[in-house]
Amino acid sequence: MNAHMRFDIDYVIRHLPDFGPAILTALELLLLALAIAFAWGILLAIGRLSKGPLRGAAAAYIEFFRNTPLLIQLYFAFFALPSLGIRLDAFETGVAALAAQHSAFFAEIFRGTIQSVASGQREAGYALGMVPGQLMRYVVLPQALRNAVPAMGNQVILLLQDTALVSTIGVYEITLQGRTLAERSAASFEMFVAVGLIYLVLSTIFSLLLRVVEQGCRIVK
Amino acid sequence: MESVVQSLPYLIEAATRTVMLSAVVIVISTAVGLVGGVVSVMFGTIAQAVVLALVYVLRGVPILVQLFLVYFGLPFFGIRVSPYVVAVIAISLHMGALMTEVFRGSLLALPRSQAEGGLALGMTPLMLMREVLLPQALRVALPPYVSLIPVTVKATALASVISIWELTLASKEIANRTLDTFEVFGIAFVMYFVICYPFTWLGRRFERKRTAYVH
């Protein structure tokens, strides 16, 4: 082994195209989990701010998922759900676990921005004869969601990073692709430098995209 | 159910390993964060650019990937350490980057007059930092700092991937062996919650207190 300290860039470049499908899988994981976590997060936030019995249930859900690691939730979903008769493949399990955890964080973001909608807005809505459901849909949520965009952008980057964990249950996304190629060669370190760079490029692209969305969503431009 | 009772001591032992690993990581990443934060505001544009670039890279790469980078990277440079040390280094670097941002942000939040006043009194920059700026900045940093503690505890679960025996690896092993999946993971969830929730609660309380004061 005289390969010591020699950075084997050729092997990495030769296998770079192998990352194409892996990147697509990671993006699929990201977008599906994001869509579910977004919708579920809104419902959780509304539940958390309601007065009924849903309040406690939503709070318990949010605190549970915020205070336990995603990795062990992922293992639990992978090993325990089948015995409940819920049969999901590894990819679907990954989407479910990512969405379940990140919806709790989205809910906290939405809770904050829903609460910060000026009370005059609600009063005006009621004065116009709106019922609470209409008020939420047409007055409060549109403003709350716009104000949530910067914090959501941060959360999307964290979600992108968390897709790496799905490699542990055998989904061929970027990290597992990197591990497989690393194990097949002496260029393990080089491979993970490439994997790190891929994530860095992806999160940079997402940050830039999110900044554009942020500009477009500003209420006062 | 019987086997759950039998495996409880192992899970408790594993939970203490998680707490210990978290404590080590918090101590190191706090040091990293303090140095990073102070250096980035004290030593001019180049130091600031270097710190911000490092933070950007360490924040932009998943902790799991950083674990593998350190795991394979150290031997590449001829350094051999145990997987435990690998886990401590990798998680501390990532958390250190997050803490750098917390301390940097709190230092930048101080009014300029604080630094100007100190310099006018003839303080050296080091004295100014130690006697005037840091004591105030640490108070501002407290809520986000406390909120990073549960994040750190949750991050230590990733050490299980390079076979560090802590709560996540232990519960996975015991669940696979005894097939009491629900009970074993259930206990592990409760244990993580008991470790993390006090800090989540405290962080939120501090945050609320501060905003109550500001407004």
pLDDT digits (tens, 9 = 90+) for B106-159: 999 888 888 888 888 988 888 888 888 899 999 999 999 999 999 999 999 999
Query: How far are the Cα atoms of A109, A140, B81, B87 from residue A220, in angstroms, in the given order?
Result: 20, 16, 54, 46
CA distance linking residue A141 with residue A122, whole number of Å: 11
- Which site among B25, B56, B68 would you substitute to test the A interface, given the most A Cβ atoms closer than 10 Å to its Cβ? B68
Residue B97: CB atoms within 10 A of its CB come to 23
Chain position carrying tokens 């604080």: B114
Tokens of B124: 């050296």
Tokens of A62: 């949010």
- Which site among A74, A76, A111, A154 would you substitute to test the B interface, given the most B Cβ atoms closer than 10 Å to its Cβ? A76
| Low-confidence residues of chain B: pLDDT under 70 | 1-2, 210-215
| Chain A CB within 8 Å of residue B213 CB | no
- Neighboring chain A residues of B67 at a CB cutoff of 8 Å: none
| pLDDT on residue B211 | 65
**Under a CB-based contact definition with an 8 Å cutoff, are residues A192 and A10 in contact?**
no
DSSP state of A187: -
| pLDDT on residue B2 | 65
| pLDDT on residue B215 | 42
Q: Please give, rounded to a whole number of angstroms, the shortest distance from the CA of A72 to a CA of chain B.
A: 6
A residues 50..69 contacting B (CB < 8 A)? 63-64, 66-69
Rounded to 10 deg, the angle between the B2-42 and B83-108 helix axes is: 50
H helix intervals, B109-164 = 112-120, 125-127, 134-156
Q: What are phi and psi of A183, to 5 degrees?
A: -70, -25
- Neighboring chain B residues of A80 at a CB cutoff of 8 Å: 175, 181-182, 185
Contacts of A216-220 with CB under 8 Å at 24 or more apart are A217/A146, A217/A149, A218/A146, A219/A143, A219/A146, A219/A147
| Chain B CB within 8 Å of residue A138 CB | no
Number of H helices, E strands in chain A: 10, 0
CA distance linking residue A107 with residue A105, whole number of Å: 5
Chain position carrying tokens 């390993």: B17
| pLDDT on residue A183 | 87
Q: Please give, rounded to a whole number of angstroms, the shortest distance from the CA of A61 to a CA of chain B.
A: 12
Instruction: Find, in chain A, the residue whose alpha carbon is nearest to that of B66.
Output: A196
| Low-confidence residues of chain A: pLDDT under 70 | 1-5, 219-221
